[in-house]
Structure 1
Amino acid sequence: MLPDIRPTLGAVVAGCMVAVGLSAVLGFQTFLYFRIFPSDSPRYKILVGWIWITDSVHTVLVCTTVWQYLIVNFENLGIVTKIYPTVAIIVIMTAVITLSVNSFYGWRIHKMSKHNWWLTGPIVFLSIARVGLAFTTAAEMMMTKTLSEFSNKFRILFTSGLFVSAVTDIIVSVARYYYLRTLKQGYLPTQEVVDAVVVFTINDGFLTCTVVIASIACWLGMPHNFVYLGIYFTISKFYSNSVLATLNLRNWYRHQYTWNRPAGLSMFRRTTGDGSRVHAREHPTSVLSSSGGSPRKHTHARSIDDGRVEVYIEHQVEYNVGNLIPEDLDALESRSHRSSKSVEMPSTAEL
């Protein structure tokens, strides 16, 4: 009787298909990023390029693994117990991508928390520990070469790496949620943007953590098939797409909360018909313009009996709410406090 290959080779094929699909999504997001944000910070461009390259290498390794299992050993059913070196390298690449993503979020949390090392320190430690466990796991896979032997000897090792990854996800998501909620102050569009970012943060952290936990559950419950491996193929893809989605959604925030929402304040110097300035009892006109209509004029006169002359110098000031959606969302906090300041008119200079 032939063994059931659905939970072994079938799971590998399914995981490969999902991984390739997510890699295609990442490639499209990378294209959008460089088209929408050509003037973005060089550090972000380097990060996006690095993530795309490592993800491409990861995808090639996944496809190579499936090729070896299904094509090279087409009639060899005993191959389901063998661990190819490409599987070990996939473990390493997953850890490298995870480290890159956690470093990005850890750096942002470090800035939002005002350099709180008590919070970002554990994130750095867990991220580095995750990489160390992954390299150790990969070395043991290459030496044991069979799934049954690896499962019997190093189950705790592989589980520890995935568990550390899940714990890091939880800490990062909770920290992002906490510090983003503290930004809900000041101007209303800023609060709306923060609400949108918070929702995305919760969903994003929940998704990556769920995938990791699912891989752990399948590994502990079904260590002798490849269901856990098929899920494991997709872990790095969710991490990579998370970063690109975080960067690209800035454009959506910009269009969602700044379209047709200019807030302007228009002021000018009052002059007479021959171009001379206003004198003692001739008071200027203050103009407050709305976003879509013509200015409304209000004239006020006041006697000046002590010989002084008041001149109202009025300037046109336009504050675009679009500035609340900066190129770097790390500036959101400072912009929020700045936008909450009131503007008084008119300004008076006494001569």
Structure 2
Amino acid sequence: MPATLQSPGEHVPLDDTMGSMLIGVIVSAILFGISVVQTLYYYSQYPKDVWYLKSLVAATIFFDSLHMLFITHTIYHYLITGYYDQTVLTRIVWSVIVEAIPTGVTGSLVQCFYTVRVWRLSRKSVLLTGTILFLIIADSICGTVWVVLALLRHTYTDLLHISPLTISINGISAAADVLISASLCIILQRSKTGFRTSDTMITKLIFFFVNTGLLTSLCAVGALLSLAISSHTLIYASWYFCIGRLYANSLLASLNGRNTIRGQTEDIDHMLLSIPNAVLSPSSNSGSNGQRPDISIRIDTSTHKDVEADDSKQDDDSFVNTLANPSKSSL
């Protein structure tokens, strides 16, 4: 039966409910397009990356696509299938709950990726990386419990009963992002040696990590505040629809940025030493008298060609490689 428009007097305001959800889907679709482009760029520019990085990118774009499919079904169900049907608008459709699964998986994958970077750069600090992993695991457990409980609810009013759990999820996620970004930034800052080129690169990397953590954290906080202040609306959903995209683009941007950083340092590629050489053979650095661990920054401009050079057999580590492309020997 063809749908018919109801009279204006019977219209239900949808601005802060389905309207907010629609905006979230649109923004999420734009970010999804960016992540697809970044994925294509990654596989074309880094064909020799190690298998686990390629698998990580594949898994990320898969769950990102799955999430896009779920939220598209959600908005179609409410605005097309349930066109102006108040009973449909108040009831929860399965896809709006299940979409939390790919979002959670994407977030956990990306956070674990950066946690490995923290682990290596912090010289395997058990306390720091253990704290981050605890937050990631706690967030995953809370997310799983939320999905199970939400599937047992039938209306959005019923969903408010588990809003404390929803707030906890966003809070834990934001805390993990802030801790990861802060850890990387502090480690990088302490690694500065006074060399202008390497210090400039460090500053750029710090800027990248600050903005990356800031975006995902602000998105989580936005969802948290929206739920706490306007729990009777669906404004929080628009934030949550986008957070998975931000995680995916964060990962892809960090991997795709390696060529740019390497290009900026090719002219001093042989001037600086890598950590393995500095640690195992201090005497190889002529004129050095036991420099402090800040020498780790010199990895920044060391070779990055072990993965990307066509037939190169060089095994030198680089700081960029440490951040975004771990070598097998380092694990």
TM-score, normalisation: structure 2: 0.78
> C-alpha separation between the residues in 2 aligned to 1:47 and 1:117?
24
1:199 to 191, 207, 224: 207
> C-alpha separation between the residues in 2 aligned to 1:204 and 1:71?
36
The equivalent residue for 1:209 is 217
Cα contact 2:303–2:317 (8 A) shared by 1: no
SS in 2 for 1:144: coil
Trace 1:131-170 onto structure 2 (pairs within 5 A).
131-151=140-160, 153-170=161-178
The unaligned stretches of length 5 or more in structure 2 are 1-8, 272-299, 308-315, 323-331
Ranked by relative contact order (alpha carbons within 8 Å, sequence separation 6 or more), the top structure is 2
SS in 1 for 2:13: coil
The equivalent residue for 1:53 is 62
**Amino acid of the structure 2 residue aligned with 1:137:** W
1:334 and 1:255, CA in 2 relative to 1: closer, same or farther beyond 3 A? closer
- Deviation of the 1:323 alpha carbon: 3.8
- Deviation of the 1:78 alpha carbon: 3.3
- Deviation of the 1:177 alpha carbon: 0.6
- Deviation of the 1:254 alpha carbon: 1.9
1:99 paired to 2:108: yes
> C-alpha separation between the residues in 2 aligned to 1:182 and 1:41?
29
The equivalent residue for 1:77 is 86
The equivalent residue for 1:38 is 47
Instruction: Indicate the structure (1 or 2) with the bigger Cα radius of gyration.
Output: 1
> C-alpha separation between the residues in 2 aligned to 1:225 and 1:244?
33
The equivalent residue for 2:275 is none
1:159 and 1:76, CA in 2 relative to 1: closer, same or farther beyond 3 A? same
1:7 paired to 2:12: no
> C-alpha separation between the residues in 2 aligned to 1:115 and 1:108?
10
The equivalent residue for 1:331 is 318
- Deviation of the 1:121 alpha carbon: 0.5
> C-alpha separation between the residues in 2 aligned to 1:333 and 1:242?
15
1:181 to 189, 201, 215: 189
> C-alpha separation between the residues in 1 aligned to 2:84 and 2:156?
19
RMSD: 2.3
Is the deviation greater in 220-229 or in 73-82?
73-82
- Deviation of the 1:213 alpha carbon: 0.4
1:98 and 1:160, CA in 2 relative to 1: closer, same or farther beyond 3 A? same
Aligned-pair identity in percent equals 26
Q: How many residues align?
A: 277
More helix by share: 2
1:169 and 1:322, CA in 2 relative to 1: closer, same or farther beyond 3 A? closer
1:214-262 deviation digits (Å, cap 9, x = unpaired): 111111111121111011100100011001001111111122333x667
More strand by share: 1
The equivalent residue for 2:130 is 121
> C-alpha separation between the residues in 2 aligned to 1:327 and 1:145?
54
The unaligned stretches of length 5 or more in structure 1 are 265-320, 336-351
1:263 and 1:139, CA in 2 relative to 1: closer, same or farther beyond 3 A? closer
1:257 paired to 2:265: yes
1:47 and 1:330, CA in 2 relative to 1: closer, same or farther beyond 3 A? farther
The equivalent residue for 2:294 is none
1:146-186 deviation digits (Å, cap 9, x = unpaired): 111121x2111111111110111111111111111222226
1:287-326 deviation digits (Å, cap 9, x = unpaired): xxxxxxxxxxxxxxxxxxxxxxxxxxxxxxxxxx964556
1:330 and 1:245, CA in 2 relative to 1: closer, same or farther beyond 3 A? farther
**Amino acid of the structure 2 residue aligned with 1:235:** I
TM-score, normalisation: structure 1: 0.74
The equivalent residue for 1:219 is 227
- Deviation of the 1:327 alpha carbon: 6.2
**Amino acid of the structure 2 residue aligned with 1:141:** A
SS in 2 for 1:6: coil
